[in-house]
Structures are given as C-alpha cells and as structure tokens.
Amino acid sequence: MPPFRVIIVGGSVAGLTLSNMLEAYGIDFAVLEKHEDIAPRLGAGYAMMPYGARILDQLGCYHALEKLSSPVNSVSGFDERGKRCLHLSQLGAWMESSFGYKMRFLERRQITQVLYDNLRDKSKIHTSCEALEICSTDTGVEVETNGQVFRGDVVVGADGVHSPVRQEMERLALADGNGELFRNEDGGY
Ligand SMILES: Cc1cc2nc3c(=O)[nH]c(=O)nc-3n(C[C@H](O)[C@H](O)[C@H](O)COP(=O)(O)OP(=O)(O)OC[C@H]3O[C@@H](n4cnc5c(N)ncnc54)[C@H](O)[C@@H]3O)c2cc1C
C-alpha cells in the first residue's frame, strides 16, 4: 500500500508552511502551485506577528526571516487632523518580553522563499501546475491539473481567499446531495 499522501493546492505561505510540517513528520505530500515561480513579486508587505513567528521558529525558518525583516519597535497613531493621539514607545520590547518575538515586516515573497529553501525535498513542489478538478475515488482523491493527475489520500486547499478547492468541494457536495453544507445564511450557495 502506498504511504499516506497529502495533496496541497497552493504553494504560498499556508501551503509551504504545511509542507514543512509534513516533511518534519515524514508524511508524504505534493504541492501544486499555478505560478511558475514559488516566490513571485506579488502581494504587499507582511506583518509577521509573534504567534506566526513561533511556528516559523519551530520549523527552523525564523532566523533567516529575522535577518530579512524589520522590527516594529514603537507605534504612533494620528487623528484626522494629523495630530498624534497614540504613542507606544516600548511596543517592540513589550512584545518580545511577553511573547518572545517582536512584530516584524517583510515581503510575502521573502517568506515563501525561506519556507521553500527550508524544505529538504524540493521535488515535491510542482510549479506551473494549476489544479483544475478534484475527484473523490474509492481509494482517495485525484487532482487533475494542466498536465498530470496527482493521487493522494486528502486534498488541502491552501489556494487563497478565492479558493478553487473550496469551489470543487462545493461542486462535489452538491452532486452528492450535501449542498446544505455550503448554503449561506441568506439561503443561497
Ligand atoms: C494588501 C495586503 C496586505 C496584507 N498584509 C498581511 C499582513 O501584514 N500579514 C498577514 O499575515 N497577511 C497579510 N495579508 C494577507 C495575506 O495575503 C495572506 O495572509 C496570505 O497571503 C495568505 O496566504 P495563503 O497561503 O493562505 O494564500 P495566498 O498567499 O493567497 O496563496 C494562494 C496560492 O495558491 C495558488 N493557487 C490558487 N489557485 C490555484 C490552483 N487552482 N492551482 C494551484 N495553485 C493555486 C496561488 O497562485 C497562490 O500562490 C495581506 C493581504 C493583502 C492583499
């Protein structure tokens, strides 16, 4: 019997973080990312908060990210007339002493690059690979892409806010008569 395998759709922050976790536990996986580059110049600045930093630290990525990012040491707020109405001069020191990490800013592509670099087996990352359709089979799941079919035991949608995986889940649920699972509060789908 083949080993348990997770198919992850989306090779950004969520997908690559999960990949690092699965690799650490020796669980087989494949990442399908539609972009040809794992760290495209997309997205804006990223505020890495202590709770995220702790996970990235456990995965062995924090020190590389610390070097690439800028700490937030103090914060000021201004009212509509431009008058300073808030100033937290010790925010960075307070966060570090309370949670172990400061808030830090960096680019999205820097996080994905560090997460990718930290993976030992890069052959599990498939770029230019867009998930198009998901089928449930007797033995697991199949994900059809623009080139090949990936087979595994579960599919994880790490494919962003407009998640095509979620749309596929909805399609499959409706076909199975379980559309209620996806019904909105207003009664629509
Ligand atoms: C202006 C702006 C500022 C933000 N600032 C912050 C911040 O400071 N801190 C913070 O934590 N978050 C911030 N966010 C939110 C941030 O973008 C998300 O937290 C983060 O990118 C989510 O990561 P993700 O991996 O879930 O999804 P995404 O980064 O959206 O990645 C989804 C991935 O899935 C891939 N994909 C999609 N469909 C398919 C498919 N069919 N097949 C294969 N691959 C597919 C995409 O190419 C992409 O790589 C900000 C967002 C915006 C827009």
- Give me the residues paired with residue 48 across strands: 104
Residue 13 is encoded by which pair of tokens? 């922050």
Q: What percent of the chain has pLDDT over 90?
A: 87
Closest atom of ligand 1 to 14 CA is: 25
C-alpha 12 – ligand 1 centre gap (Å): 6
Ligand 1 pocket, CB under 6 A:
9-15, 32-35, 43-44, 46-47, 108, 130-131, 158-160, 164
120 within some domain: yes
Return the pLDDT at 127. 97
**Ligand 1 mutation pick, 8, 33, 111, max ligand atoms within 8 A of CB:** 33
Residue 122 lies in a domain: yes
**Which pLDDT does position 189 carry in this prediction?**
63
The pLDDT tens digits of the residues spanning 58-78 come to 999 999 999 999 999 999 999
Q: Which of 50-54, 62-66, 182-186 shows the lowest per-residue confidence on average (mean pLDDT)?
A: 182-186
Residue 40 lies in a domain: yes
pLDDT at residue 43 tops 80? no
73 within a domain of the structure (yes/no): yes
| Residue 187, in any domain of the structure | no
Q: Is residue 189 part of a domain?
A: no
Q: What is the mean pLDDT of the chain?
A: 94
Q: Is the residue at 188 inside a domain?
A: no
Whole domain around residue 66: which residue ranges?
5-182
Segment 121-166, tens digit of pLDDT: 999 999 999 999 999 999 999 999 998 999 999 999 999 999 999 9
C-alpha 189/C-alpha 185 separation (Å) is: 9
**Residue 140: which CATH number?**
3.50.50.60
User: Which comes out higher in pLDDT, residue 41 or 74?
Assistant: 74
The first and second tokens of residue 12, run together, are 């950004």
Q: Which of 7, 34, 56 to mutate to test the pocket of ligand 1 (most atoms within 8 A of CB)?
A: 34
Tell me how far the alpha carbon of residue 153 lies from the centroid of ligand 1, in angstroms: 24
Count of C-beta atoms within a 10 Å radius of residue 184 = 7
Residue of 181 and 85 predicted with greater confidence: 85
Name the pTM for this structure. 0.92
List, for residues 80-115, the tens digit of each pLDDT value: 999 999 999 999 999 999 999 999 999 999 999 999
In a domain, 89, yes or no: yes
In the chain, how many domains are there? 1
Q: Is 26 left (phi over 0), alpha (psi -120 to 50) or beta?
A: left
